[in-house]
Structure 1
Amino acid sequence: MRTNRSIPAATVIPVLTYPDVRAAVAWLEAAFGFAERVRIGEDHRAQMRVGDGALIVADTGGERGAPTGGPVTHAVMVRVDDARAHCEHARAHGARIVMEPADFEYGERQYQAEDLAGHRWTFSQTLADVAPEEWGGTTVG
């Protein structure tokens, strides 16, 4: 795949819509530890990075709108080194914790949070390398 400095290098790049792009960028940096990479216009879009992943923060308009508080239609998963510490940091910066850190049989400790616009996030810490067959999954391919 060719590289282009005008787009994040990640293979999958979620685009999430917020009513105020600049406020969202500041909040995502403070609460979740993301870093702004590219600013597009004053309040149009921003590219953010976290680890080797990426996210685009987009403004509302046209067909784009922020979550409205209805059913959860999406979640973005981000791997972290310490889910408990990350959770406490996010909580201290105003994240609404919807699931406290919990350990799962598939070798992950995870928690879930909602950001300032209602987007759902799952943060996951690897505790062990577990074969999917050990917890009821099936390895395919």
Structure 2
Amino acid sequence: MSYFIEDLQPGQIAEYRKTLTEADIVLFAGVSGDNNPMHIDEEFASTTKFGGRIAHGMLSASLISTVVGTKLPGAGAIYMSQNLKFLKPVRIGHTVTARVTVSEVLSDKQRVRLLTECWVKDEKVIDGDALVWVPRRPT
């Protein structure tokens, strides 16, 4: 479902959930060019404070974009800004829930402020906020 600016109000929430796989990590590394051994080399990553490979932070954060572009606000929404704070590592096999909550609607400017979070079980792994442009209902 997609919303126009007239349909939005503070408190609306939408989510997208995905279990990250080995293929997701490899494909994201290929598309982004981020071949940091923390993500793709278990031998290297096992010597770090994380004790093993972790998913790209931006891979988990990209699930927020999925919510913004397909659910809330949905089709036609355009990112203007996104702030992120990475709180905990995400690993292969973790199920990440990206949650977007409308915090403020700026109808005159066709913008909406969003609280953006990612969770693994009951632990918040990413915290952030975004500003998004949202189309008006056609007349």
Q: Same fold (TM over 0.5)?
A: no
Normalising by structure 2, we get a TM-score of 0.29
Normalising by structure 1, we get a TM-score of 0.29
Which structure has the higher relative contact order (CA within 8 Å, separation 6+)? 2
